[in-house]
């Protein structure tokens, strides 16, 4: 069964960026349709954006209560990110 829906703007993706794009389009007084595979603002990369950070082990070892590798460095972490990314 198919259904035709008429809209001015179609936003695909209900993560933070898609949700915000739909809000912005609606504020321009147009008809907006947002398609999402999961719950709004809780799918895609959005959940990871607020729960992830990168820190070198040397800096981490200087924070009370955190373990880190004193032999690590910001340069090594940057190299790891560029190489693995």
pLDDT of residue 52: 56
The CA distances from residue 16 to 32, 40, 42, 64, in Å, are: 16, 8, 8, 33
Examine the domain organization and report whether 35 and 60 are in the same domain: no
Is residue 79 domain-shared with residue 61, that is, in the same domain? Answer: yes
Domain residues for the domain of 59 are: 53-84
Choice among 23-27, 48-52, 57-61, 78-82 with the minimum mean pLDDT:
48-52
Q: Tell me whether residue 27 is in a domain.
A: yes
Nearest of 13, 15, 9, 1 to residue 28 by alpha carbon? 9
How many domains in the chain?
2
> Is 4 part of any domain?
no
Closest residue by Cα to residue 16 from 38, 53, 45: 45
Domain membership flag for residue 1: no
Most confidently modeled of 28-32, 47-51, 54-58? 28-32
Pairing of strands 9-12, 32-35: parallel
2 domain-assigned: no
pTM over 0.75: no
């Amino acid at each position: 069964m198919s259904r035709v829906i008429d809209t001015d703007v179609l936003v695909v993706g209900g993560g933070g960026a898609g949700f915000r794009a739909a809000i912005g389009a609606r504020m321009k007084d147009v008809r907006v349709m947002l398609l999402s595979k999961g719950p709004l603002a809780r799918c895609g990369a959005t959940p990871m954006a607020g729960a992830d950070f990168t820190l070198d082990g040397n800096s981490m070892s200087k924070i009370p209560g955190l373990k880190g590798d004193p032999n690590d460095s910001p340069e090594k972490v940057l190299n790891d990110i560029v190489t693995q990314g």
